[in-house]
Amino acid sequence: MDKIEVNIKFIKQLKQWIEQEASDEIVVILEEMYPQDIAEVIDKIDAESARYLMSLVEKEKVVKVFVEMEDKVREDFLSIYNPTEIAEEFIMKIDSDDAAFILNQLPNKIKDNVISSLTDIEYASQLLSLMSYDDYTAGSMMAVELISANINWTVAQCVEEIRMQAENVDVIYVVYVVDDMKRLVGLITLKNLILSSPSAKISDVLNKEVISVNTSDESEFIANIFKKYDLVTIPVIDVLGRLVGRITVDDVVDVIKEEADEDYQLMSGITSDVDSSDKVWTLSRARLPWLLIGLMGGIASSRFIEIYEDQLHIHPEMAFFMPLIAAMGGNAGVQSSAIVVQSLANNTLGTRNIFSKLLKEIRVALLNGVVCSGLILAYNLAFNDSTNLAYTVSISLISVIIFASLFGTVVPLLLNRIKIDPAIATGPFITTTNDLLGLAIYFSLAHVLYSL
Amino acid sequence: MDKIEVNIKFIKQLKQWIEQEASDEIVVILEEMYPQDIAEVIDKIDAESARYLMSLVEKEKVVKVFVEMEDKVREDFLSIYNPTEIAEEFIMKIDSDDAAFILNQLPNKIKDNVISSLTDIEYASQLLSLMSYDDYTAGSMMAVELISANINWTVAQCVEEIRMQAENVDVIYVVYVVDDMKRLVGLITLKNLILSSPSAKISDVLNKEVISVNTSDESEFIANIFKKYDLVTIPVIDVLGRLVGRITVDDVVDVIKEEADEDYQLMSGITSDVDSSDKVWTLSRARLPWLLIGLMGGIASSRFIEIYEDQLHIHPEMAFFMPLIAAMGGNAGVQSSAIVVQSLANNTLGTRNIFSKLLKEIRVALLNGVVCSGLILAYNLAFNDSTNLAYTVSISLISVIIFASLFGTVVPLLLNRIKIDPAIATGPFITTTNDLLGLAIYFSLAHVLYSL
């Protein structure tokens, strides 16, 4: 089995085969492919072709492809199955965390029918409890499949348990150790298990330094713990300290990526998770809110400039540097807010208080402001006739950079304090507000300087 | 050992103890702490206190704290040791990937002295070869510590190898299987090892479906493979297919986070990796380049507006909507480029060609442009006297949104094609160019409409 690169050429070839119903060629190539790669192909072809392709995938691989598909594609794919088939062919065969996630995406009626079709009542009730946890909490991320050993067992008993559970639990890195009340008391790595004598007592070989999370802990917090302690898996406990599940690093990698993507999109003025393959209407809807905020900002600044109409009439050169002032305010503000937002997310904000942070921000802004203002002053004195304009632009610029930087620092810090995601303060919001701020400073200053 | 939250209060208490040289209290608390938490504290206190604290950490924990420190703090910490001490106390005791990384950060002279102080010549030469790989490649990310088994061994021989190597290799998830030429031929998970009979032959129990990377593969490519195939560790092979190292998921998590941070910073106009605890000068230097680009853009637009000075003299109201047009061009452009950059990074760009992508972008832009232009037209007809201005603004706005969107889509795609990181096309670059583009459209159009 080789990594087959799912590129345009490969998909073209496959589409051709599908059209010709060349099942022999397709079966051969599908056998060579990893489930993840097949899922990638499925995501990129139409629903009918996808179903045909899935009918040619080997039985044992179908479920793995199913889990890896994009959500929308999977929904479409499931529409040809009845609830009993969905329960038996898919839900029973996949990990509980994936099962709970996929069930939660189904329409309510189908979801209920699928769950009541499950023949394993205990598993059905486990799934129901997984499905009830809030999104982005440990409870909603965890799987219930895990190997646990009682602290009173021997190593041999523990190995026997692994043998019995081997079919249910695909990947095992550690065995969690619990007491008679099912409370988590430690862990044993498979390495230690291999190196220990079969007759040794678990209580003698276990590692009590086990980091765990609670079912209600948030995904971002969990991701930070994985990153900090270099974990591969973490046990999840309930309020009584009982072991109820485990979270593996692959899910955490997804969380880290999703959160970074979200911050990036907020910064660029996109409100929901979209990518370039989404529908026109979806893309438009994700982008329109920020454009409308920009529009309102633009209208506000037009009202503001209108106040100075008479002055513009006499000194139209005042208009020359409006875009510069507005843009620089926006740029400086976005830089400041980005640094704060990222420091908050990475927990590298330092321990100083808000005032020393602002003081530092003022120093950075002053430094950059002096450089930029100096350059533009030199330019204007050299190439522009109006010294009034030259001084107005430079003094405005340095003021704008300082105010915009302070504003960009304070807003995300305040939002964070009142538990609102500071990332929404970046991008269009800061840019729009600082456009206005910049123009206000520029025109007020011009008004004063020109009337001297 | 409990997770101790390293918060302001805790650090304050610790600082007080350090001042009082209350070593008993400190030792007790340090014993309770994970190395990662101690490192977090060390990162946040001054160099002298850090050294005092490190002198109180248990011997076995010192090295672990050392690896987790921030780079700058570690450099400072190492300055009190001579090359032989650095070699024996630290480099010999940590994983080879960390050792190579830390050595590469030392000044050349010290680095050479440390390497020549290593008593294990074979290890020294391994480190030298690790250090020679380019940054952000598999070679520079991998560690040479791994367990490999010959395909002709039995399971029992493999377990014996694990026992012998247990001290060198901290964490083991899988055993890689090689042939007599050391070429990678498969892997065995520890789970399979436990479940197999000791007399079974490795060749009968191994899994041949092993995904590997080459030493020269780039970190972003590797991160995508880990993410796609849900891996925990990946073997690294050289050009001859020989097993030379392994990369673990914790390093990949760091890569994913770093890359996301970098894209975020580029988007917000920050050129190097900084956070809010960096020095004023560092922060200023990272932010100044983009501000200067914004400055040049501003000067260019001032020259452009100057052309229309006479017209502004007669119709100062033309200036009212300059900020709106410029801002909306910037916003729409940033949104487009962000979607492309993210789709490129996540490999979700779809298989369509560039023209169908542009066509789609035009449709999104048209939809959003019509909504925004319609709203501003209604506003202007209702509240502004000049119908000329109303039409100029609305027609400019829709043109600007379309052009900026196309520009925002094309530039990152082109950069990507010529192998330049498309992320640099986002943020200030797109904003500045689109400011100019917007003003050009606005004034040209106004010129035509007003002279009708």
pLDDT of residue A132: 92
Per the listing, tokens 């940054």 go with: B135
Average pLDDT over all residues of chain B: 88
In tens, the pLDDT along B193-215 reads 988 999 999 999 999 989 999 99
Do B162 and A191 make contact, defined as CB atoms within 8 angstroms?
yes
pLDDT of residue B56: 92
pLDDT of residue B352: 59
Do B162 and A195 make contact, defined as CB atoms within 8 angstroms?
yes
Kindly list the strands in the beta sheet with B243-248, ordered across the sheet, starting from the edge strand earlier in the chain.
Answer: B213-214, B233-237, B243-248
Q: Please name the residue of chain B whose CA is at the shortest distance from the CA of residue A325.
A: B298
Do A270 and B343 make contact, defined as CB atoms within 8 angstroms?
no
User: Does A11 reach chain B within 8 Å, measured CB to CB?
Assistant: yes
- Examine the domain organization and report whether A229 and A286 are in the same domain: no
Q: How far is A264 from chain B (nearest CA, A)?
A: 6
Do B276 and A339 make contact, defined as CB atoms within 8 angstroms?
yes
pLDDT of residue B353: 67
- Examine the domain organization and report whether B323 and B445 are in the same domain: yes
Q: Please name the residue of chain B whose CA is at the shortest distance from the CA of residue A285.
A: B368
Which helix or strand (DSSP H or E) is residue B146 part of? none
- Please name which of A307, A426, A95, A11 lies closest in space to residue B230, comparing C-alpha atoms: A95
- Examine the domain organization and report whether A120 and A26 are in the same domain: yes
pLDDT of residue A342: 83
Separation CA A75–CA A110 (nearest Å): 11
Q: Please name the residue of chain B whose CA is at the shortest distance from the CA of residue A315.
A: B313
Model ipTM value:
0.82
The radius of gyration of chain B from alpha carbons, rounded to an integer in Å, stands at: 30
∠ CA A232-A236-A239 to the nearest 5 degrees? 160
Do A320 and B306 make contact, defined as CB atoms within 8 angstroms?
yes
User: Does A326 reach chain B within 8 Å, measured CB to CB?
Assistant: yes
pLDDT of residue A312: 85
pLDDT of residue A6: 74
Do B343 and A428 make contact, defined as CB atoms within 8 angstroms?
no
pLDDT of residue B415: 86
For A110, other C-beta atoms within 10 Å of its C-beta total 17
Separation CA B162–CA B166 (nearest Å): 6
∠ CA B81-B87-B88 to the nearest 5 degrees? 95
Q: Is the confidence at residue A350, as pLDDT, over 70?
A: no
pLDDT of residue B275: 72
Q: Cβ(B276)–Cβ(A416) under 8 Å?
A: no
User: Does B163 reach chain A within 8 Å, measured CB to CB?
Assistant: yes
Do B432 and A327 make contact, defined as CB atoms within 8 angstroms?
yes
Which helix or strand (DSSP H or E) is residue B411 part of? helix B387-417
Chain B residues with CB under 8 Å of A346 CB are 257, 261, 275
- Residue A286 in tokens: 């994700």
Do B268 and A338 make contact, defined as CB atoms within 8 angstroms?
yes
φ, ψ of residue B47 in degrees (nearest 5):
-60, -40
Final residue in a domain of this structure, among A260, A289, A314? A260
Q: Please name the residue of chain A whose CA is at the shortest distance from the CA of residue B231.
A: A250
- Examine the domain organization and report whether A170 and A83 are in the same domain: no
CATH number at residue B446: 1.10.357.20
Residues in chain B: 452
- Examine the domain organization and report whether A152 and A132 are in the same domain: no
User: Does A334 reach chain B within 8 Å, measured CB to CB?
Assistant: yes
Assess if residue B270 is contained within a domain. Answer: no
Q: Is the confidence at residue A248, as pLDDT, over 90?
A: yes
Assess if residue A268 is contained within a domain. Answer: no
Do A290 and B173 make contact, defined as CB atoms within 8 angstroms?
no
Average pLDDT over all residues of chain A: 88
- Residue A80 in tokens: 């040809």
The alpha carbon of residue B210 and the mean position of all alpha carbons in its chain are separated, in whole angstroms, by 27
> How many CA atoms within 13 Å lie on the side-chain side of B144?
17
Assess if residue A428 is contained within a domain. Answer: yes
Assess if residue B274 is contained within a domain. Answer: no
Q: Is the confidence at residue A4, as pLDDT, over 90?
A: no
Chain B residues with CB under 8 Å of A275 CB are 339, 342-343, 346, 348-349
Query: Which of A405-409, B232-236, B260-264, B271-275 has the least mean pLDDT?
Result: B271-275
Q: How far is B192 from chain A (nearest CA, A)?
A: 9
Task: Report the DSSP pairing between strands B174-178 and B184-189.
Answer: antiparallel
Using CA of residue A341, residue A420, residue B267, residue A319, what is the dihedral sign?
Answer: negative
- Residue B4 DSSP one-character state: P
| B 241-270 residues inside an 8 A Cβ radius of A | 248-250, 252-254, 256-257, 260-261, 263-265, 267-270
Burial class (CB in 10 A: 0-12, 13-18, 19+), B157: middle
pLDDT of residue A3: 57
Q: Is the confidence at residue A404, as pLDDT, over 60?
A: yes
A73, A335, A429: best to mutate for the B interface, most B CBs within 10 A: A335
What DSSP string describes B248-285?
Answer: EHHHHHHHHHHHHHHHHHHHTT--S---TTS-HHHHHH
Structural domain boundaries, residue A39? 8-136
- Examine the domain organization and report whether B310 and B437 are in the same domain: yes
pLDDT of residue B101: 92
pLDDT of residue B357: 79
Q: Cβ(A130)–Cβ(A142) under 8 Å?
A: yes
The mean pLDDT of A48-67, rounded to a whole number, is: 90
Nearest neighbour of A269 by CB, restricted to B281, B334, B376: B334
- Residue A416 in tokens: 């964070």
pLDDT of residue A1: 42
Chain A residues with CB under 8 Å of B404 CB are none
3-state secondary structure of B30: helix
Separation CA A29–CA A5 (nearest Å): 12
Which residue would you say has higher pLDDT here, A158 or B317?
A158
Q: Is the confidence at residue B339, as pLDDT, over 90?
A: no
C-alpha distances in Å from residue A377, one per residue of A9, A371, A449, A452: 56, 10, 15, 19
Final residue in a domain of this structure, among A83, A104, A136? A136
Do A299 and B324 make contact, defined as CB atoms within 8 angstroms?
yes
Query: Which of A23-37, A335-349, B39-53 has the least mean pLDDT?
Result: A335-349
- Examine the domain organization and report whether B108 and B252 are in the same domain: no
User: Does A199 reach chain B within 8 Å, measured CB to CB?
Assistant: no
User: Does B28 reach chain A within 8 Å, measured CB to CB?
Assistant: no
Assess if residue A165 is contained within a domain. Answer: yes
CATH number at residue A167: 3.10.580.10
Separation CA A427–CA B427 (nearest Å): 9
User: Does A427 reach chain B within 8 Å, measured CB to CB?
Assistant: yes
Report the range out of A7-11, A176-180, A409-413, B282-286 with the highest average pLDDT: A176-180
Tell me the β-bridge partners of A176: A148, A187
- Please name which of A232, A248, A240 lies closest in space to residue A215, comparing C-alpha atoms: A240
- Examine the domain organization and report whether A371 and A401 are in the same domain: yes
- Examine the domain organization and report whether B112 and B155 are in the same domain: no
Separation CA A44–CA A258 (nearest Å): 21
B45, B70, B232, B287: best to mutate for the A interface, most A CBs within 10 A: B287
> Which residue type, as a one-letter code, is found at position A424?
I
Q: Is the confidence at residue A228, as pLDDT, over 50?
A: yes
Taking one residue from A and the other from B, the number of pairs with CB-CB distance under 8 angstroms is 379
Assess if residue A422 is contained within a domain. Answer: yes
Buried b (16+ CB within 10 A) or exposed e, A20-40: eeeeeebeebbeebbbbbbbb
Final residue in a domain of this structure, among A260, A295, A311? A260
Q: How many domains does chain A have?
A: 3
pLDDT of residue B266: 83
Whole-model pTM? Answer: 0.83
- Examine the domain organization and report whether B209 and B317 are in the same domain: no
Chain A residues with CB under 8 Å of B156 CB are none
Q: Is the confidence at residue B1, as pLDDT, over 50?
A: no
- Residue B169 in tokens: 């290799």
The mean pLDDT of A47-58, rounded to a whole number, is: 90
User: Does A324 reach chain B within 8 Å, measured CB to CB?
Assistant: yes
Query: Which of A104-113, A218-227, A354-363, B294-303 has the least mean pLDDT?
Result: A354-363
The mean pLDDT of A109-124, rounded to a whole number, is: 91
Question: Measured between alpha carbons, how far apart are the two ends of chain B, in Å?
Answer: 81
3-state secondary structure of A420: coil
Separation CA A244–CA A89 (nearest Å): 26
The mean pLDDT of A214-238, rounded to a whole number, is: 93
The mean pLDDT of B379-399, rounded to a whole number, is: 90
User: Does B440 reach chain A within 8 Å, measured CB to CB?
Assistant: no
Q: Cβ(A172)–Cβ(A162) under 8 Å?
A: yes
CATH number at residue A27: 1.25.60.10
Q: Cβ(B183)–Cβ(B240) under 8 Å?
A: yes
Nearest neighbour of A321 by CB, restricted to B302, B343, B426: B302
Separation CA B176–CA B208 (nearest Å): 10
Nearest neighbour of B320 by CB, restricted to A40, A267, A305: A305
Q: Say which residues have a Cβ less than 8 Å from residue A129's Cβ, sequence separation at least 6.
A: none
- Examine the domain organization and report whether A120 and A233 are in the same domain: no
Chain B residues with CB under 8 Å of A316 CB are 309, 312-313, 316, 319
Of chain A, the percentage scoring pLDDT greater than 90 comes to: 43
- Examine the domain organization and report whether A313 and A444 are in the same domain: yes
A254, A320, A376: best to mutate for the B interface, most B CBs within 10 A: A320
Of chain B, the percentage scoring pLDDT greater than 70 comes to: 97
Q: Is the confidence at residue A57, as pLDDT, over 70?
A: yes
3-state secondary structure of B177: strand
Nearest neighbour of B253 by CB, restricted to A253, A269, A292: A253
User: Does A198 reach chain B within 8 Å, measured CB to CB?
Assistant: no
Which helix or strand (DSSP H or E) is residue A438 part of? helix A428-450
**Residue A370 pLDDT grade (very low, low, confident, very high; cuts 50, 70, 90):** very high
Assess if residue A265 is contained within a domain. Answer: no
Assess if residue A79 is contained within a domain. Answer: yes
The mean pLDDT of A237-242, rounded to a whole number, is: 94
Burial class (CB in 10 A: 0-12, 13-18, 19+), A171: middle
- Please name which of A135, A137, A114, A134 lies closest in space to residue A124, comparing C-alpha atoms: A114
Separation CA A285–CA A448 (nearest Å): 44
For A132, other C-beta atoms within 10 Å of its C-beta total 11
